[in-house]
Amino acid sequence: MNPGVKKALIITKKITFFILKALGVFILLLLVFIGANLTKIDRTPYKKMPYYRTTMERIKSLKNTPVPVVNNKTDSIKVGWGKADFTPNHPVHLAGYGDRYGNSVGLQDSLRARAFVFDNGDRKVAMVTIDLLIVPPTILAVIHQQLSTIGFAKENVYFSATHSHNSVGHWGSRVVGRLLAGSYEQSVVDNIAHAVISAIKQANQTKEYAQLGYVKINAKDLLYNRLVREKGIVDPWLRLLKIKKQSGKVATLFTFAAHSTCFASERKPISGDYPNRVIQLLEKSPRIDFAAFFAGAMGSHAPIDVPGGNDYEQLENISTKMSALVLDKIDSVSTKANKQLFMRSLKIDLRAPQVKISEDWRLRPWLFYALYGDYPAYITALRLGDLVFVGTPCDFSGELVPRFDAVSQRKGVETIITSFNGGYVGYITDDKWYNVNEPETRHMNWFGPYNGAYFTEVIQKVIETM
């Protein structure tokens, strides 16, 4: 054999041996890392856990806080509304499914923050919804810093989002947030926060005496249970608050449980999805001056498909039908004066995170916190006349909503559940589906099991205090 060839073969063998050895060491270290950071799912009943006892103690304190007395100097409440745009003027990373990675393509509709301010003379509360996937903790922190400049505090601002999966990202500061929403950009966060502050300020400046009315509209044909299909139930109600000012101007705040996912992941226009299209159609009517959408109990529900249709046909289908349902009812919704107004906030403790990789195995909590962060979670509750809005820090499942009917009837109120109040703890679904191998229950049920029952009990007890 040629000495040069022989030498080359020896070198090649050494390189190959080195590569295989390095690969073997890497695989061994990986297996050790995985072994050290996997553990069994903790299925201890939630009522036996310390986090449950801590939260129950907080609820006792809440119960001992008296309901504010209404000042009867006037017989009505003042209401104002406002909006502010934060549509980017260049391609951005969309916040939605993981396979939406990359920049947006085109503009379907503008993105806005929308706000109401309610003032009964003794206290005032703002309700804010943002055309975002969620209300991210990073944006909420900036908003909280600025609220005092316009005469508000975080304890009297109720948040939700429209949950569009085609809205702007760049607000996630940790690994998981960046995977969902792209690189973190402070300028984007500041721009959205500024829009929220501007919308609240505008709403506060346009207050007039107003009356309130409410209606539930059955819209069961516009959504389905995407988690377990016909095995489960749906929350079919389009819930509608009508506000009529002394001047005659009319606004509506509405909620619905279908995810804002008319656009498939390969479609990447900037858009507020069907909530924005419904608002456009409502505000074209001379009967509605302003409209805003707050995400309902979206955890298990999707908008109805259009057989053989594309994304834009699905968007137009649900939007046209939903706006028609609203316009058909809006004139017949009677309004009345009601000054009851106050808000509560309850910090809710959770089990250590249990991000599942299989039915029985999970990542260790420290790894979740390193990738996602550790943010406080709250239940927020707003009493507005005979309505109780309950804000949740999650995708809250519509299958759980009927569990609040009994306590609502005892209190003589209507309860409206909304999602995405500024914290985010993943999906909260019916516990009987905890082992179902679907994204909502396998990958995004971060703090289970038994959170369906736990959140239900906590919310029921909060409603009792309202």
Q: Which amino acid is at 79?
A: V
Mean pLDDT of the chain: 91
| Both tokens assigned to 59 | 């609820």
- pLDDT of 74 above 70: no
Is the CB of residue 349 less than 8 Å from the CB of residue 378? no
Question: How many whole angstroms separate alpha carbon 163 and alpha carbon 129?
Answer: 10
Is the CB of residue 364 less than 8 Å from the CB of residue 37? yes
Mean pLDDT, residues 227-236: 96
* Segment 187-220, tens digit of pLDDT: 999 999 999 999 999 999 999 999 999 999 999 9
Mean pLDDT, residues 286-310: 92
- Burial of residue 266 (CB within 10 Å: 0-12, 13-18, 19+) is exposed
Is the CB of residue 83 less than 8 Å from the CB of residue 211? no
Per DSSP, 393 falls in state S
| Both tokens assigned to 226 | 């995407």
Sign of the Cα pseudo-torsion (376, 379, 382, 383, in order): negative
Residue 118's pLDDT band, with cuts at 50, 70 and 90, is: very high
Q: Which amino acid is at 334?
A: S
Of 452, 424, 456, 438, the residue nearest 225 (C-alpha)? 438
Residue 181's pLDDT band, with cuts at 50, 70 and 90, is: confident
Least confident of 65-69, 159-163, 365-369, 444-448: 65-69
User: Nearest 5°: CA angle at 245, between 153 and 214?
Assistant: 80
Task: Identify the pLDDT of residue 372.
Answer: 87
Question: How many whole angstroms separate alpha carbon 414 and alpha carbon 237?
Answer: 12
Mean pLDDT, residues 407-427: 96
Residue that wins the pLDDT comparison between 3 and 317 = 317
Task: Identify the pLDDT of residue 448.
Answer: 86
Contact partners, residue 81, CB within 8 Å, separation at least 6: 114, 115, 116, 117, 202, 203, 206, 243, 251, 290, 292
User: Nearest 5°: CA angle at 152, between 147 and 155?
Assistant: 100
Mean pLDDT, residues 437-464: 94
- pLDDT of 25 above 60: no
- pLDDT of 35 above 90: no
- pLDDT of 354 above 60: yes
Of 193, 183, 187, the residue nearest 147 (C-alpha)? 193
- pLDDT of 427 above 80: yes
Is the CB of residue 216 less than 8 Å from the CB of residue 238? yes
Q: Can you give 258-278 as a three-state secondary structure string?
A: CCECCCCCCCCCECCHHHHHH
Of 294, 301, 239, 303, the residue nearest 422 (C-alpha)? 294
Mean pLDDT, residues 218-246: 97
Contact partners, residue 149, CB within 8 Å, separation at least 6: 197
Task: Identify the pLDDT of residue 237.
Answer: 98
Of all residues in the chain, what percent carry a pLDDT higher than 90?
76
